[in-house]
Amino acid sequence: MNLVDTPAPATTSPSSLPSPSPVARVLVVDDEPGMLAMTRAILQTLGYEVVTSTSGEDAMQVFQSGHTESNGFCAVILDLAMPGGLSGVEVLGYLREVDPEIKVIASSGYLEPNSRPAARETGFAGILPKPFTAERLASELQWVLSRH
Using one digit for the tens of pLDDT, what is the confidence trace for 43-87? 999 999 999 999 999 999 999 998 776 678 999 999 998 887 888
Length of the chain in terms of residues written: 148
pLDDT for the residue numbered 12 = 40
- Tell me the helix, strand and coil percentages in the chain, rounded to 5: 40, 20, 40
Q: What are phi and psi for residue 47, nearest 5 degrees?
A: 100, 10
Answer yes or no: CATH 3.40.50.2300 is held by domain 23-146. Answer: yes
The C-alpha R_g of the chain, in whole angstroms, comes to 19
pTM of the shown model: 0.82
Q: pLDDT tens, 79-101?
A: 998 887 888 999 999 999 999 99
Domain boundaries, the chain: 23-146
